[in-house]
Structure 1
Amino acid sequence: MKVAANELAISTINFLPGHIEKAKAMIMLKDWHGVMDCIVHADQPEGSNPYIEVIRTVHGICFAGEVSALKRTLQLLLKSLDENEATNHALYAKITQLIVSISGKEERVLRYARDFLIRALKISRKPEYVALSMRIAFGLGDIKEVSTLSAELVSMDCEDSYALLSSVISMLMISRVSDARAQADILPSAHPKLMESPLYYLISSVLAKQSKDKSFENFRQHIENLVEMLRNQLQSHPFGLQYLSLFSSDLLYSAVEQCFDFYPLVPVKTPDECMKLTAKTLQMILDVAPGLAHCALQLARINYLCSNTNEAEKWIYKTLEKNDSLADAHILKAQLILDKGGKISDAEDALVTGLNFNFKLRETSLYHLIKSKTYKKKNDNDEAIKTLKMALQIPKKEASNNLFVPKETADTHKISVQLELIDTLQQTKRIQEAENTMLAAIEEWAGQPEQDQLVIAQAQLHLSKGHVERALNTLKRIQPGQSNFHLSRIKMAEIYLEEKKDKRMFAACYRELLKVEATPGSYSLLGDAFMKVQEPEDAINFYEQALKMQSKDVQLAEKIGEAYVMAHLYSKAVNFYESSMNIYKDKNMRLKLASLLLKLRNFEKCEKVLKQPLDKSLDMGDAEAVQAHIQFLLLLAECHEKTENISEALKDFERSKALLGKLIDKTDKSNNSALKKEGARICNLHADLLYRRRDYQPAIEVCKQALIFSETDLKANLLLCKIYKEENRWHLMLNPCSNILQVDPNNDEANSFMADYHFMKNESDKAITSYQVLLNANPHHFHALSRIVEVCCRNGEIEIPDAYLARAREANPKIINNPGYNYCKARYEWFTGDPNEAVLFYSRTRKEQAWFVRAMYNTIDICLSSDENFRITDGGDSEFGEPGGEVELNAKACLETLRNSKADMRYQIAENLIHLHSHNKEHIQTALRRLEEMATEMNAEQGEIVRSAAALYGVAKGYVLLKQIPKAKIAIKKLNVKFWTLDEADYYEKCWLLMADIYINTSKNEQATNYLDLVLKRNCNCLKAFELYGYMREKEGKYLDASSQYEKAFKATKEKNPAFGYKLAFTYLKAKKLFACIETCSKVLKIDPNYPKIRKEIMEKARSQIRTG
């Protein structure tokens, strides 16, 4: 349809019906920007064409949302009708119904709609027009007009629900409950079709609230029936002008208003059924008409009361985007800022802005309540008390007799003011005054529905002071039948679980709800409760009971699937998801199934489930279907990556980005922030895969795409920093790093990058200072601690990391079980020459994947290094055909724990390094070939460049094992010192040490010295370098110089490595430093009393020489 309308509009550009049809097609696709484009391209003078003005009005109400600008739009429509269709009373009425239906009960829009209907009524007093007038008067709360119209409609023959129920509405608007109930009970028997009217269920919900038992469940059921009835009536209509005319958002918003009375005054952690239902209803309105700012505000408020502050903040900003003159939105914004610990000045600014739009805010308790909180935040309790007392002096509003008006308009926030005043008085030790205020509040609200709200707020106050039992006893006073019984039991359950850790009583509170009202909602709540205490088997029973009573509830079905997964009943979960997916045709259910199959490593079936919808044609006009396709593609990319089908995974990312780009193009620029965030997230996932594959340049390009979606995206900037750091392009790293620090000055990784930058610039003092700042603020900042270990140990300052490790233990003795701590401790032990202890600490990092992966790779290096203590001779001393032995087995065992990372280049390098230790010539040659492929790549500008120092070390080692020493030297010489990186520092050292070893054994000591100095420049604590230096000097007969090197090595290990102690003692003996020799022998024997040869061959000889000397 869109294509046909588009062709019609383009081919006959001056053909007005073509533009109108295209605009209708855009409305059907909810492409509101396209709607406005059609109006502009129609090129009609304002107010000249009624059809164009109708479309402009629909766009203004449903999307633009600016009520002030809407006045002119409606005036233009009225002018157009007056000039072109002045006698067409049916058209006036039809447009009136459309405007009322999409108004969301917004007062000014309804008043404008009345102007249209007046024109129709002047021409004809048709019953349906009078009924429509009744609908408007009802929406405006005009009691007098409703009464007049009701009297008129009684004498008319009209089947419209507003006509049939007009007398009931009129009675309820003046609180004649018994008369209204009597008439409401009789009417359905005379007019059976009333049972299909959403209005009937709205009236029933009001009567349920006024019943003797005041059953909340009856009330909730009527509201649910209203929503479901309206949804069913709309199902047979495609989205468009007719759909909007039948939508009845005014009625839905009236239903939302009825729920206001059940809202808590203070935020709760677990939303009750009423708030869930209200949120669902508001979302239904906003899906159709996102421009209704007051509905977005109510959704923000519900999220705030459910303690979902991030979601509340999102909806507040959406509200202000559509209508920044809503004073209540600024007030809620101030509340959110204070509750989230934001700047007091920002909260005060929001209050002032709200006041500027509505000076009557000064007459509300809520305004003074928030104002007092700003004073309390500034520790000005006296001013806070003064403000709260001022709020209590506000004249009490006269409660309306109109039962369709929520009692909230009577300013029940006064209860919160009283409780806040009590709390503030107690803080300032004015106990007697606080008690008097509480007694006055109890007396004021006794016997009124608001008393329940006072009780719940009072319990919250007790809880904030740590008086748990008082809070529970207070809540127990609310009994079944009272309006806030549900909320009180949910709050009690929350206290039992979080404060008393009593799972039995937690469940008992929900069982009490079920006992009072055995409804689907109660069964579902009890299931939620058991899920919260990790008892999924019990939860499944209750969820299934709820699903039997409410079989069409997809969310309940999802909960059952999640419970099966939590209970580790995976096969049942898969079967349930499959059957539910077919029953409900729900895209989210397919995602749940695919995610579970991926988790179970059933990749083939996962791919099949995801490809089924992806192989079908996609309607780009269906935003929900496009978003589901994007999620399918992202999951498919993960599946392809797990099966090492990287090329397909990359294609999946590209397809998902392309789809999202098209979706963003069709979405209003002021309303696509969530889509842009999703775009940044997809780019980050894509870039991360490329990064792990070491495809740095494509990864950089994808990161830049992420920053187009979101300029301040932290993940993209962090990944750019990592890549530039690894490529040694530090000057490029500074820009994304500064971008991060502008958004988040305390970002650990960015500050660590800056510290690394200082280290790379040989500004180690600045680097250490930067890390110390992070550690002084948080002794358990293990990223900074790992860097301190790395930097200080390389600088030879082993005391500094030792002190910080001790400080971490002092701050929390249990930290010794933390994976981050154990990684740092292991690294420290490795630097100080105790690989066995290092391996022990590395093995304790299993609980945290990030640390564990790094630990396992380091453990593999230690295992392989234990097999590398050989001297290279001209002829070579390695023999092939011998089994790799324990070294290879240990390394393979470590690698097996990383099997999920097979696509990672680090994994592949480690795998081939292990093969080098197999002592099998064929295996070594295969590993060498693979390592050569990974070690270098050709660059058009720079020629051959090194991709990985680790792989290059493997190449050199492989050539040594194959006795091709010249080729090993050529490989190592490819390493350029200026590209040295901290992350690959160990392998740079291994390469240079291997080269030094080669030169020492060919008696080219000068060249060996150059490489050893290179190592010690980067790591002045390198034990292997000290050892090779000592060995070289021993060969030269310079035992005093050799002892100097071994002394450094022994000291670096804190004199706990007996091997270095032995070598030091031996060179002391040869250099005739006999007393130092004996002292060193004693230290070695203290470490290991049975250390071979040292007592007889060194210590006794030294003593003998002293005696004979």
Structure 2
Amino acid sequence: MDAQGLKTLINYYCQEKYFHHVLLAASEGMKRYGNDPVFRFYHAYGTLMEGKTQEALREFEATKSKQDVSLCSLIALIYTHKLSLNPDREAILELDARVKEQRKEAGQKTLYHAGLFLWHIGRHDKAREYIDRMMKIPNDSNEGQVLKAWLDITRGKEPYVKKALRCFEERLQEGNDLFALLGKVQCLEMRQNYSGALETVNQIIVNFPSFLPAFVKKMKLQLALQDWDQTVETAQRLLLQDNQNVEALRMLALYYLCREGDIEKATTKLENLGNALYTMEPQNAQLFYKITVAFSRTCGRNQLILQKIQTLLERAFSLTPQQPDIATELGCQMIFQGRVKEAWKWYKTAMALHETSVSAVTGLIRCQLIEGLFKDADQQLEFFNEIQQSMGKSPELIYLHAILAMKKNKRQEEVINLLNDVLDTHFSHLEDLPLGVEYFEKLNPDFLLEVITEYLNFCPVQPASLGQPLSPLLRRCTSVLETIVRTVPGLLQAVFLIAKVKYLSGDIDAAYNNLQRCLEHSPSYADAHLLMAQVYLSQEKFKLCSQSLELCLSYNFNVREYPLYHLIKAQSQKKMGEIAEAIKTLHMAMNLPGMRRIGVSSKSKYRKTEVDTSHRLSVFLELVEVHRLNGEQHEAAKVLQDAIHEFSGTSEELRVTIANADLALAQGDTERALSMLRNVTAEQPYFTEAKEKMADIYLKHRKEKMLYITCYREIAERMPNPRSFLLLGDAYMNIQEPEEAIVAYEQALNQNPKDGTLASKIGKALVKTHNYSKAITYYEAALKTGQQNYLCYDLAELLLKLKWYDKAEKVLQHSLAHEPGNELSALMEDGTFSKFFLAKVYSK
């Protein structure tokens, strides 16, 4: 590499803050081009940034007499003195006077190097001042214009970036300037033209094959284009040329962790990365710290990964023990490892270094909430409420407000609004960010999974039945989890939670597929086995349900302490008619530690306690049910009274109310059941469930059709979504009012025009009203919009009924020809097609 190439390499490493690399490149330059003082100057700068202040001062003293770097050496001496804990004020004043004096007489090169150095240390306005002064001196060199364009990029605003790009392109018309090419790449990247940037990087690789940062850029751009395969290939190619390349090793470690979910390989690569850091950047505390963040946020709190990260962070803190950010990050690591006491110590260390550090105080509040110190947390959050207005919203602080609101049993609506605000604020910080290290850090899947876990506390605990309105919270959870899984498909906790949300949404097949993916990847995943048992139970596959429970127990004997394990087992026994066994199983669950609320332990972790509350209640309610089925009404009533006492004032109280109404109904007391259900208002959870139960009582027990339909009308009025109108339509069909059903179904279809289920229901309702021609027109129009293919069968069945055999045959043959593998093939096998051809024979 020539002298200019080496100088560009140094500029690149200065901007990336790879200071040992600066030192190595400068040493190479001194070896090859000993007379060039620029390399000596940057050797001194690299030495300074590695913490060797006295040595750096001596080197700068030596370069201040060299013409081209005299001015930047004086500026560097001032900078070095100011970095000291006790700066030499006199020396600074004297050096400052000499800078002002030299600046007046400085030539073009001297001003250029002074401006360049000021840019590297972040004094952009001052750098611009020097470059403007330089450009007033007549000369043939374009390097001042190129540097000024880089300074324009640093401003970050689109008009300046556009102007800089124009400057780089003008310079490149005169020949391949490496510094200008890198600038062009940066501009295109900032304008999100990643393919254009990649093209320019390839140009650099062709013309400057030994310039390794071009491969780093290429790798990052391929990831921005979401091409993991090419990214990995470039990383491996880079390691063939430089087996200690920090960026390539980081990329491979992230690939195995985020994309593949291969903890073993990710751990090995992370270890290699740590070794490379110790070799290539041994004194770079900021790099040791910053390189850990993406891993800790995406590793699903895997202890192996967290241990490796902790080692790197401790190295960072030992290098700069005065850095509050590193202490805060160590606190965060302790939280991830469940070591709250140590986390507390680190957050206090950070606050001693920087009293108003928002991230340190946020961490401290988190510790207070985990330890049950709600009053202290409340006071801290109140204080930060005032500050937050000036510094902008923090998703972490809003989240802690939500947790505290839950702890104080605030209204569900208030907590959900806070959680919604958390997500809106969090995702606003991700706008326009390409896929890359910064995106992984800011997406922060670990934090999002915490938020989703809290949302699930307010979701129904049983899967939605067919036609039941889907909770908007489940839709929100699905949207967030799909974003995480698209970006970090290797994060199994996210895949598991998608399975859970799909299960609760009634999409059993999707839940099963996601669980299969979890268990293929991690056969010992106990929670996945438990959820798989629930999936099999919902499909009435009792043998497979039992097998899942046994597998779960074989991998993790502690599941016997989970109420959920006993609950699923009892539900399976109940469905198989083994009522006495189910009662025994549930009594075992009732005797587990933590099943009774004798005052919540201050040591309990809030996430676990909240999740367990719904499981605890489900055990109580299941025991009520099996006692009732066993004819033990008195026992059932007694357990229900225990549940009322145990869950009064909690978020689960309404489930007890609905169960109480079920028991009253089973005892024949419909009025008492209705009286309890009427108390559930539209603002509360389980409103739809309560209304559906009321409607069922009115229709089946009281034969009052008007009151039955009023319940569904109220659901649709209070929650005017497609599912509510679908329920209303179904209710009208149940009482033989197809005209009204069509109106309700059409309202649902207007909101969800691609729902084939709705189209089918409208068609059937039209047939019921004997409006055949309209039904045919309707089916044909729906099929043209690409609705589900089973509408073909509905249409063919109607045409058969009307004896339009040729037309029916065409509809079915057209469907089979276009989608031979679809569900119609199965329908043909069950005799429908035979019937169709038989009818055709008779017609002849």
TM-score normalised according to structure 1 size: 0.47
List aligned pairs for 1:165-314, cutoff 5 A: 165-211=362-408, 214-268=410-464, 269-314=468-513
Match of 1:89 in 2: 285
In structure 2, relative to structure 1, the CA distance for the partners of 1:243 and 1:510 (3 Å cut) is: same
Paired with 1:224 and 1:380, the residues of 2 have a C-alpha distance of 44
Cα distance, 1:174 vs structure 2: 2.7
List aligned pairs for 1:524-543, cutoff 5 A: none
Q: Is the 8 A contact 1:291 1:322 kept in 2?
A: no
Cα distance, 1:245 vs structure 2: 2.2
Q: Is the 8 A contact 1:65 1:323 kept in 2?
A: no
Paired with 2:668 and 2:521, the residues of 1 have a C-alpha distance of 42
Paired with 2:384 and 2:602, the residues of 1 have a C-alpha distance of 26
Match of 1:317 in 2: 516
Q: Is the 8 A contact 2:325 2:350 kept in 1?
A: no
Paired with 1:23 and 1:432, the residues of 2 have a C-alpha distance of 70
Cα distance, 1:490 vs structure 2: 1.8
List aligned pairs for 1:834-873, cutoff 5 A: none
List aligned pairs for 1:640-659, cutoff 5 A: none
Supply the AA of the counterpart residue of 2:290: K
Paired with 1:309 and 1:50, the residues of 2 have a C-alpha distance of 44
Q: Is the 8 A contact 2:219 2:230 kept in 1?
A: yes
- Which of 1 and 2 has greater Rg? 1
3-state SS in 2 of match to 1:262: coil
Cα distance, 1:210 vs structure 2: 3.6
In structure 2, relative to structure 1, the CA distance for the partners of 1:530 and 1:385 (3 Å cut) is: closer
Choose from 144, 153, 157 the match for 2:354.
157
Paired with 1:689 and 1:56, the residues of 2 have a C-alpha distance of 53
3-state SS in 1 of match to 2:524: coil
Paired with 2:608 and 2:722, the residues of 1 have a C-alpha distance of 28
3-state SS in 2 of match to 1:341: coil
Cα distance, 1:467 vs structure 2: 8.5
Match of 1:433 in 2: 635
Match of 1:116 in 2: 312
- For residues 730-781 of structure 1, the C-alpha deviation after alignment (integer angstroms, 9 at most, x for no partner) is xxxxxxxxxxxxxxxxx563465xxxxxxxxxxxxxxxxxxxxxxxxxxxxx
Give identity over the alignment, percent.
21
Cα distance, 1:375 vs structure 2: 3.1
In structure 2, relative to structure 1, the CA distance for the partners of 1:466 and 1:98 (3 Å cut) is: farther
Q: Is the 8 A contact 1:496 1:503 kept in 2?
A: no
Match of 1:359 in 2: 557
Supply the AA of the counterpart residue of 2:199: A
Paired with 1:530 and 1:690, the residues of 2 have a C-alpha distance of 32
Cα distance, 1:73 vs structure 2: 3.4
3-state SS in 2 of match to 1:256: helix
Which structure would you say has the larger RCO, counting Cα contacts within 8 Å and 6 or more residues apart?
2
3-state SS in 1 of match to 2:685: helix
Supply the AA of the counterpart residue of 1:184: L
1:349 aligns with 2:349: no
Q: Point out where structure 1 has 5 or more consecutive residues left out of the alignment.
A: 515-520, 544-555, 567-594, 607-630, 639-687, 707-712, 719-746, 753-781, 791-823, 832-857, 863-1109
1:506 aligns with 2:712: yes
Q: Is the 8 A contact 1:127 1:158 kept in 2?
A: no
Paired with 1:245 and 1:210, the residues of 2 have a C-alpha distance of 29
Match of 2:250 in 1: 54
- For residues 142-174 of structure 1, the C-alpha deviation after alignment (integer angstroms, 9 at most, x for no partner) is 331332233333333377542243443333233
Paired with 1:299 and 1:465, the residues of 2 have a C-alpha distance of 39
In structure 2, relative to structure 1, the CA distance for the partners of 1:18 and 1:330 (3 Å cut) is: farther
List aligned pairs for 1:1018-1037, cutoff 5 A: none
Cα distance, 1:243 vs structure 2: 1.8
Supply the AA of the counterpart residue of 2:684: H
Supply the AA of the counterpart residue of 1:749: M
Q: Is the 8 A contact 1:365 1:394 kept in 2?
A: yes
3-state SS in 1 of match to 2:248: helix
1:4 aligns with 2:210: no
- For residues 801-829 of structure 1, the C-alpha deviation after alignment (integer angstroms, 9 at most, x for no partner) is xxxxxxxxxxxxxxxxxxxxxxx5xx6xx
Cα distance, 1:391 vs structure 2: 1.9
Paired with 2:340 and 2:668, the residues of 1 have a C-alpha distance of 48
- For residues 250-281 of structure 1, the C-alpha deviation after alignment (integer angstroms, 9 at most, x for no partner) is 22122122223323332343333333333332
Cα distance, 1:600 vs structure 2: 9.5
Cα distance, 1:524 vs structure 2: 9.2
In structure 2, relative to structure 1, the CA distance for the partners of 1:21 and 1:432 (3 Å cut) is: same
In structure 2, relative to structure 1, the CA distance for the partners of 1:22 and 1:460 (3 Å cut) is: farther
Q: Is the 8 A contact 1:171 1:179 kept in 2?
A: yes
Q: Is the 8 A contact 1:5 1:22 kept in 2?
A: no
Cα distance, 1:249 vs structure 2: 1.9
Paired with 1:50 and 1:315, the residues of 2 have a C-alpha distance of 35
Paired with 2:829 and 2:741, the residues of 1 have a C-alpha distance of 41
Q: Is the 8 A contact 2:722 2:751 kept in 1?
A: no
In structure 2, relative to structure 1, the CA distance for the partners of 1:166 and 1:335 (3 Å cut) is: closer
Cα distance, 1:327 vs structure 2: 0.9
Cα distance, 1:199 vs structure 2: 0.9
List aligned pairs for 1:251-650, cutoff 5 A: 251-268=447-464, 269-342=468-541, 344-396=542-594, 399=601, 401=603, 404-410=606-612, 412-456=614-658, 472-478=674-680, 486-496=684-694, 500=699, 502-509=708-715, 599=781
Match of 1:814 in 2: none
- For residues 1068-1093 of structure 1, the C-alpha deviation after alignment (integer angstroms, 9 at most, x for no partner) is xxxxxxxxxxxxxxxxxxxxxxxxxx
Paired with 1:92 and 1:141, the residues of 2 have a C-alpha distance of 23
Paired with 2:478 and 2:711, the residues of 1 have a C-alpha distance of 29
Q: Is the 8 A contact 1:526 1:539 kept in 2?
A: no
List aligned pairs for 1:786-801, cutoff 5 A: 790=838
Paired with 1:437 and 1:208, the residues of 2 have a C-alpha distance of 30
Cα distance, 1:286 vs structure 2: 2.0
Match of 1:920 in 2: none
Supply the AA of the counterpart residue of 1:144: K
Paired with 2:390 and 2:237, the residues of 1 have a C-alpha distance of 45
Supply the AA of the counterpart residue of 1:176: L
List aligned pairs for 1:610-1009, cutoff 5 A: 692=814, 713=821, 718=825, 747=826, 749-750=828-829, 782-785=832-835, 790=838, 824=839, 831=842
Aligned length: 587
Supply the AA of the counterpart residue of 1:259: Y
Cα distance, 1:325 vs structure 2: 2.7
Cα distance, 1:244 vs structure 2: 1.8
Paired with 1:43 and 1:222, the residues of 2 have a C-alpha distance of 46
Supply the AA of the counterpart residue of 1:258: E
In structure 2, relative to structure 1, the CA distance for the partners of 1:560 and 1:464 (3 Å cut) is: farther
In structure 2, relative to structure 1, the CA distance for the partners of 1:785 and 1:258 (3 Å cut) is: same
In structure 2, relative to structure 1, the CA distance for the partners of 1:468 and 1:432 (3 Å cut) is: closer
TM-score normalised according to structure 2 size: 0.60
In structure 2, relative to structure 1, the CA distance for the partners of 1:431 and 1:278 (3 Å cut) is: same
Match of 2:269 in 1: 73
3-state SS in 2 of match to 1:486: coil
Supply the AA of the counterpart residue of 1:197: S
In structure 2, relative to structure 1, the CA distance for the partners of 1:122 and 1:536 (3 Å cut) is: farther
Paired with 2:666 and 2:251, the residues of 1 have a C-alpha distance of 53
Supply the AA of the counterpart residue of 2:329: L
Cα distance, 1:215 vs structure 2: 1.9
